[in-house]
A and B are shown apart, each in its own frame.
Chain A
Amino acid sequence: MSLWVIQRDLLLAMRRRSDVLTTLFFFIIVVSLFPLGVGPEMNMLRTMAPGVVWVAALLASMLSLGRMFSSDYLDGTLEQMLISPQSLSMLVLGKAVAHWLVTGVPLVLMSPVLGLQYDLSTDALLILTASLLLGTPVLSLIGAIGAALTLGLRGGGVLVSLLVLPLYIPVLIFGAGAVEASTAGLGAGAHLSLLGAFLLASLVLSPWATAVSLRISME
């Protein structure tokens, strides 16, 4: 994999820290608004916690998808990527990994702290974090396909949500389901295994699909 692509995208993210912080603060605020709005009903908060955290993670990761390729597209770097002797799929994989490191990992790290507001048990917090750790890379990888397809379109931001959010649904169901299953005493193993399977499948298929989409968008 192209390590230097990851390095470059991280460097660019460091120079534009506000973009990264916007995503993180969006996540924190959305998750924190629910307990304030719903009220201090412990049982209700405990049941809704996984769903709320996961939906907020989906939206936060969506928020930053537009930036994934657009700046490279506008300054001509993307053209150079298409005619690079290196495999475009590998370059795309590097970009998706960088996107996850910048937007996904901070969410994973913040989720146990935010989970405390919902009175989740230690076990449930651990499962929530594990499910996010397996699920957020899938969001970046699937999102890359949507970002590539809507590249250079007017109103691409709305279109990318319409394209990508339905594809996020399985990740949402099994991610939130993992925590519910573990609190119900069923064990989260099955849900986490399925999330792992999604991750492997998207690792293989998404870079290829994204590379094809980029070539179509750039024609």
Chain B
Amino acid sequence: MPILQGSELECVRGDRRLFKGVNFSLDAGELLQVHGPNGSGKTSLLKMLCGLATPAQGQILWRGNDIRSLKGEYYGEITYLGHLSGVKDDLTAIENLRISSALSGAEIDTERAHGALRKMGLGGRESLPAKVLSQGQRRRVALSRLLVCGTVLWILDEPLAALDAAAVKLMQSLLEQHLNQGGMVVMTTHQEIDIAAVSTHRLQLS
């Protein structure tokens, strides 16, 4: 049985049906790329995967159990990065990283946070408030959480938006490393990116 499995998922927003009959399954080391035009329900699907939205029909299983019955147990194994980065304007990059890590249940010390930010190319900017950082740099602050989270399943909504070429390369190697170690990634992206994985699933929403 696959670790993550979605069966016959249906999403209804208001009185419009975005998709129905969506099936997928994901095992250790596998990547699921969700494709589709704007408004086809990619973000809604990812929110369902996090338990932030309830599917109108169908269910999502994690190691054979419905994610809605697992709750905290499941949340401890996923990291979700959505459109909204969760980066606070008034906090510095390092405070942002440490607080978002504590929120996801893995407190880290300053040393480790410094290391992660430096690796994401934010060396020397750790103590600047996030409001003076550029859009791409704020995105990097949010993404640096992936370096310290230690979770199995990453759910990423447009992780490459606003990133420059060097950062895209960095993300690519980060994702490959995670998949290599037996992690799983579900992501949406409009950019073409080549990520080496045991197997890559493509899910097309129309």
> Per-residue 0/1 for A112-124: is the Cβ within 8 Å of any B Cβ (1 yes, 0 no)?
0000000000000
Which residues of chain A in 64-99 are interfacial with respect to chain B, using CB atoms and an 8 Å cutoff? 71, 74-77, 79-87, 91
Interface residues on B, range: 20 to 34
Known pairs A16-B90, A219-B53; A83 contacts B78 (CB<8 A)? yes
Known pairs A12-B91, A79-B80; A84 contacts B86 (CB<8 A)? no
B75 touches A83 (CB 8 A): yes
Interface residues on A, range: 20 to 34
Residues of A within 8 A of B84 (CB): 74-76, 79
Known pairs A11-B91, A87-B72; A81 contacts B80 (CB<8 A)? no
Interface presence of B137 (CB below 8 A): no
Q: How far is the CA of A77 from the CA of B52 in the complex (A)?
A: 13
A85 touches B104 (CB 8 A): yes
A80 touches B54 (CB 8 A): no
Q: How far is the CA of A12 from the CA of B89 in the complex (A)?
A: 10
Q: Among B53, B86, B95, point to the contact of A76 (Cβ < 8 A).
A: B86
- Distance in angstroms from B200 CB to nearest chain A CB is 25
Q: How far is the CA of A84 from the CA of B80 in the complex (A)?
A: 10
Residues of A within 8 A of B75 (CB): 83-85
- Distance in angstroms from B135 CB to nearest chain A CB is 13
Residues of B within 8 A of A81 (CB): 103
Interface presence of A15 (CB below 8 A): yes
- Distance in angstroms from A162 CB to nearest chain B CB is 26
Which residues of chain B in 86-109 are interfacial with respect to chain A, using CB atoms and an 8 Å cutoff? 86-91, 95, 99-100, 102-105, 107
Known A75-B86, A79-B80, A83-B75; 9 more pairs at CB < 8 Å: A8-B99, A16-B90, A75-B89, A77-B103, A80-B86, A80-B100, A86-B72, A219-B53, A219-B54
